[in-house]
Amino acid sequence: MPVEDKVAVQAADKKDKLRIGIVGTGGIAHAHMKAYKDMDDVEIIGGSDLVPGKARAFLDEFGLTDAPDFEDNNKLFALKPDGVSVCTYNTTHHVCAVAAMRSGIHVLCEKPMSVTLDQAVQMARAQKETGKILTIGFQPRYDANMKMVKEIVQSGVLGNVYYVQTGGGRRRGIPGGTFVNKELAGVGCLADIGCYGLDMALNSVGYRKPVTVSAYASDFFGKNPKYFKDDFSVDDFTCALVRFEDGLVLDFRMSWAMHMDTMGDTLFLGTEAGLKVKSPNPHLNWGGAWDGTIGDVYMYTDVVGNQVETKIPLKPAEKSNNFAAKVRAFLDAIKEGGESPIPWQEIIYNQAIIDGIIRSSAAKHEVDVVIPEI
């Protein structure tokens, strides 16, 4: 093929590619980049990070030596990417996501959606006003067994689900880095793995309106040099009882560190049957929380008067593909002009519960959950 034709083919190829930027080039940005690099229809057009030199080193690490790097996100947005992954620490998700959407760019934002409810509202309003895709990065949703749990719960086989217990916890699993700094993470264990637990439970039953929450949070392990040697200014344990408008009750517990193997399995109690999702690996320091992988699943019911326990066969683990699946869902939504795969209309309830938990544990009594008007 003559060189001119080759160039023309390459140009056409590029034209069909989605132009993607990465905002915040720390730890998790690597997983985003790896997933994008595996997609034939993506061109990474650049990256930004407020730490000088960090975006450059990140792009170089992936062989993208020609892709421009910025300290100012607006300069990346000025290149008009189709979409960006917002991979900054929790307290700056809203700033970056809102600015991107207002620049006409679709956003895949890392979990949790935000720290405060007000930040989530800013993001939701920007999405509503711009019509851009805003999806929140809960990759466990793409796990085959997570989908199966949702399918079982939504099939109606459990009858009326009136109580859900969820969370689990790690025995020694304080992550460190920006996760334990209040100014950067905003919230600790609750925002890190707690938001997964909330999403997996509430996505399974179908997101619905929370009304009150009574919560407790502590930091005994993070603040004790016997267990954690760095500065620590967030929570390492949270539990809460959340009531929903339709009567559902959620018993939530999540821990980064404790003298226990797990805070328990995830349980769905229904009027016709119950479902137990075991914590995946409670014998491992980091394994007792349902934050991605899944343990064995059992259903409990009566069959002609006999109490029966059934082990539901798990589907082959596809954990390594979940991250790629969340990135793919974002890209497909952009390409097809589709709905957000994990929209704020659901996750705003997750954030309203987190907000209620923070207020209740500070006030030491039950509080109303605030559902904002968007």
| Distance in Å, CB of 161 to ligand NAD, minimum | 27
Give 2's DSSP letter.
-
* CB half-sphere exposure, 265, CA atoms < 13 A: 15
Residue 139 in the binding site for ligand NAD (CB under 6 A): yes
Structure tokens at 261: 């193997």
Residue 28 in the binding site for ligand NAD (CB under 6 A): yes
Helix (H) or strand (E) holding 269: strand 266-270
The correct pick among 42, 84, 87, 294 for binding ligand NAD (CB under 6 A) is 87
Q: How many residues bind ligand NAD (CB under 6 A)?
A: 27
Give 116's DSSP letter.
S
Residue 110 in the binding site for ligand NAD (CB under 6 A): yes
| Distance in Å, CB of 103 to ligand NAD, minimum | 14
Residue 89 in the binding site for ligand NAD (CB under 6 A): yes
Stretch that binds ligand NAD, among 43-51, 224-232, 253-261, 331-339 (CB under 6 A): 43-51
The correct pick among 22, 77, 85, 90 for binding ligand NAD (CB under 6 A) is 90
Residue 104 in the binding site for ligand NAD (CB under 6 A): no
Q: Residue 184: count other Cβ atoms within 10 Å of its Cβ.
A: 17
Nearest to 330 by CA among 71, 131, 85: 85
Residue 178 in the binding site for ligand NAD (CB under 6 A): yes
Q: Are strands 237-244 and 210-218 parallel, antiparallel or unpaired?
A: antiparallel
Q: What is the 3-state secondary structure (H, E, C) of 299-364?
A: EEEEECCEEEEEEECCCCCCHHHHHHHHHHHHHHHHHHCCCCCCCHHHHHHHHHHHHHHHHHHHHC
Residue 145 in the binding site for ligand NAD (CB under 6 A): no
| Distance in Å, CB of 217 to ligand NAD, minimum | 18
Residue 95 in the binding site for ligand NAD (CB under 6 A): yes
Residue 119 in the binding site for ligand NAD (CB under 6 A): no
Q: Are strands 161-166 and 83-86 parallel, antiparallel or unpaired?
A: unpaired
| Distance in Å, CB of 48 to ligand NAD, minimum | 5
Residue 137 in the binding site for ligand NAD (CB under 6 A): yes
Nearest to 115 by CA among 175, 71, 179: 179
In the bound state with ligand NAD, the residue whose beta carbon lies nearer, of 139 and 166, is 139
Give 91's DSSP letter.
G
| Distance in Å, CB of 173 to ligand NAD, minimum | 13
| Distance in Å, CB of 207 to ligand NAD, minimum | 19
What is the DSSP secondary-structure string of 158-220?
T-SEEEEEE-B--SB----GGGG-HHHHSSSHIIIIIHHHHHHHHHHH----EEEEEEEEE-T
| Distance in Å, CB of 192 to ligand NAD, minimum | 6
Residue 92 in the binding site for ligand NAD (CB under 6 A): yes
Residue 153 phi/psi, 5-degree rounding, is: -60, -45
| Distance in Å, CB of 210 to ligand NAD, minimum | 22
Residue 50 in the binding site for ligand NAD (CB under 6 A): yes
Residue 103 in the binding site for ligand NAD (CB under 6 A): no
Q: Rounded CA gap, 170 and 200, in Å?
A: 17
Rule CB under 6 A: which residues touch ligand NAD?
23-29, 48-51, 54, 73, 87-90, 92, 95-96, 110-111, 137, 139, 177-178, 192
